[in-house]
Each structure stands twice: as structure tokens, then as C-alpha cells.
């Protein structure tokens, strides 16, 4: 276990796929017959509980795989790929496979992928085909991109929050719990959902994804696990606007018109770029959360 952000991977599976899927695991040998090992096998040692792995079978993203335990050394499972040049000793990860509703072909996105993947140990070649290997670590940005393409949804995402919370000491205070859970899920699921509405700050043109935070309207501590992941319960905001919204110096009425707290001084209004006549687009789903924000967060 660790409380840093989650890791993401792409796994290429061939004839072993059916067995691995039905058995609920990933497996790679530590060495081949010639005692050689490869980065796409040793990458198995980086997989920890809660990590997300994108499956590739025949060039398709077919499943989202969640590691349900940390990696461990274990003999090759019976039935697994009978490739005789592999030794039997290997790394094993217990995993949940979730079928993707809209499988995508990686090659259709090869230009985006070539920009998003690392230069070293890249999962795909310049023609968009998979490199000859098993497991490749990818960046959170790359993972966000893929989640966006397949409609992002993870049926177990609410369970994951619950699971992580259950593992924490019960006497931990709420702020600390929130910090750990958010770091563990990398803010990724919620942020990906918000990206559907556009990839810039709700209040200004900043569109560098590194600077955008998925900011909750009804605060995390007051929300249940469904509300914590509801894309209507928040906005993507740049650092300045996130701070102002999070601490209640600004809010919005049901028409989307900005409300500015009387406690916000003119200097801050000017230099934190608060446009006092700003109106944002709202959908029906946003409104109940904004009611909560106005009543419980906004500094009247």
C-alpha cells in the first residue's frame, strides 16, 4: 500500500487473454529461457492495489483492469499461455476486468497517442501498432485521454473510494482522509468527467490541464461517494478561481451569474481576475449543488 497517486498501464494480451480474464489476473515471467528479462515484464513490479490498466487485445481497448492486490511473485497459472520459452516463475497481479462499453481502436488515435506516450519504453510504435511487449506504464495524462475516449465510467469507482476509506484508521480527521483518498484516485475520475464539459477554467481561458483543478461545489467532506464523483458537482477551475470558489469568496446564482463575497477586497478582485459581471453556463444538474454552496460555503 502507498498513499501516492495511482499508476496507469497498458497491457497487450494475446492468446493468454481469455484465461487471464476469466481467472482475474495478469501474469508475466521474470525471465525467458535465455535468462533474459525485459522492461515490459519487470514493469509488473510497479503494479499496486488500485492501479488502473488499459487492456489491448488485437489493437482494441476492450477492458479496464483494476489491480485488486499489490503485485507478487508467483508461478505461472495453469492454462496460461503455453509459451515454452518462458520460465514458470513470474509476477502475478490479481485483477478485476471490466468490459468497456465502447471499445476503441488505438490506431485511430495514433497521432494523439504518439504525443502522449513516453519516448522510452513506449507502448506503441510510430505507425500506431503495439510494440512487442506486455506491460507498459503510461502517464496520468495519457490515461485521462483514454478514459475520455471510452466514456470514462468505472462501475466500481464509488467502491474504490469506500475501499480506500475502509483501510484508513477510523480516527483520522476528515481533511486528512480527503487528502489521501483524492491522492489515491489521483482526482482522475472526477476530473475526466468534468473535461467532457470543456477543457478550460470555467471562469477564464486557462486551458493547460496541469493548472486545472476539479473543484467540488458541494465540498468533498459534505458529499456522499456518489456526489463526490458526480460531474455536476463541480467545475474545472484555474488555481486562482479554484481558491476563490473553494473558500467561498465567489459563488453563482441559478442563472449562472457570479456572486462576489463582500469579504473579497478590491485588490484581490482585480489581481485574481474576478469579472463581477461574469455569467457561466449551467445545466440543471448543477443547481442543487450550487444551492448548497451558496448556503454553506459562500461568505455572505
Nearer to Zn ion, 146 or 203 (CB): 203
Member of 241, 286, 292, 293 binding Zn ion (CB under 5 A): 241
Near Zn ion in 71-130, by CB under 5 A: none
Q: Which stretch binds Zn ion (CB under 5 A): 37-45, 116-124, 184-192, 239-247?
A: 239-247
Nearer to Zn ion, 118 or 280 (CB): 280
Near Zn ion in 41-80, by CB under 5 A: none
Nearer to Zn ion, 95 or 201 (CB): 201
Q: Which stretch binds Zn ion (CB under 5 A): 128-136, 137-145, 175-183, 235-243?
A: 235-243
**Residue count at the site for Zn ion (CB under 5 A)?**
6
Q: Which stretch binds Zn ion (CB under 5 A): 6-14, 186-194, 238-246, 274-282?
A: 238-246
Task: List the one residue out of 288, 174, 270, 275 whose CA is nearest residue 230.
Answer: 288
Near Zn ion in 186-215, by CB under 5 A: 201, 203-204, 206
Residues of the shown chain interacting with Zn ion in the complex, contacts defined by CB under 5 A: 201, 203-204, 206, 238, 241
Amino acid at each position: 500500500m502507498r498513499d501516492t497517486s495511482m499508476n496507469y498501464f497498458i497491457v497487450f494480451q494475446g492468446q493468454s487473454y481469455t484465461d487471464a480474464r476469466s481467472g482475474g489476473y495478469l501474469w508475466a515471467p521474470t525471465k525467458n529461457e535465455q535468462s533474459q528479462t525485459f522492461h515490459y515484464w519487470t514493469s509488473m513490479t510497479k503494479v499496486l492495489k488500485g492501479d488502473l490498466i488499459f487492456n489491448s487485445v488485437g489493437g482494441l481497448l476492450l477492458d479496464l483492469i483494476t489491480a485488486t492486490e499489490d503485485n507478487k511473485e508467483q508461478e505461472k497459472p495453469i492454462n496460461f499461455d503455453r509459451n515454452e520459452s518462458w520460465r514458470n516463475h513470474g509476477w502475478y497481479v490479481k485483477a478485476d476486468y471490466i468490459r468497456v462499453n465502447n471499445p476503441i481502436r488505438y490506431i485511430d488515435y495514433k497521432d494523439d497517442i504518439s504525443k502522449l506516450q513516453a519516448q522510452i519504453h513506449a507502448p506503441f510504435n510510430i505507425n500506431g501498432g503495439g510494440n512487442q511487449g506486455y506491460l507498459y506504464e503510461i502517464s496520468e495524462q495519457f490515461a485521462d485521454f483514454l478514459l475520455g475516449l471510452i466514456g470514462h465510467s468505472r462501475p466500481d469507482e464509488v467502491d474504490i473510494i469506500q475501499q480506500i476509506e475502509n483501510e484508513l484508521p477510523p480516527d483520522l480527521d476528515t481533511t486528512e482522509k480527503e487528502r489521501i483518498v483524492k491522492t489515491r484516485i489521483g482526482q482522475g475520475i472526477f476530473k475526466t468527467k468534468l473535461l467532457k464539459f470543456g477543457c478550460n477554467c470555467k471562469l477564464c481561458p486557462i486551458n493547460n490541464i496541469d493548472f486545472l483543478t476539479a473543484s467540488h461545489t458541494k465540498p468533498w467532506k459534505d458529499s456522499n461517494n456518489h456526489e463526490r464523483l458526480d460531474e455536476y458537482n463541480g467545475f474545472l477551475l484555474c488555481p486562482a478561481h479554484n481558491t476563490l470558489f473553494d473558500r467561498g469568496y465567489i459563488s453563482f446564482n441559478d442563472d449562472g451569474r457570479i456572486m462576489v463575497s463582500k469579504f473579497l477586497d478590491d485588490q484581490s478582485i482585480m489581481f485574481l481576475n474576478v469579472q463581477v459581471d461574469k455569467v457561466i453556463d449551467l445545466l440543471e444538474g448543477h443547481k442543487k449543488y450550487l444551492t448548497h454552496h451558496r448556503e454553506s460555503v459562500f461568505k455572505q
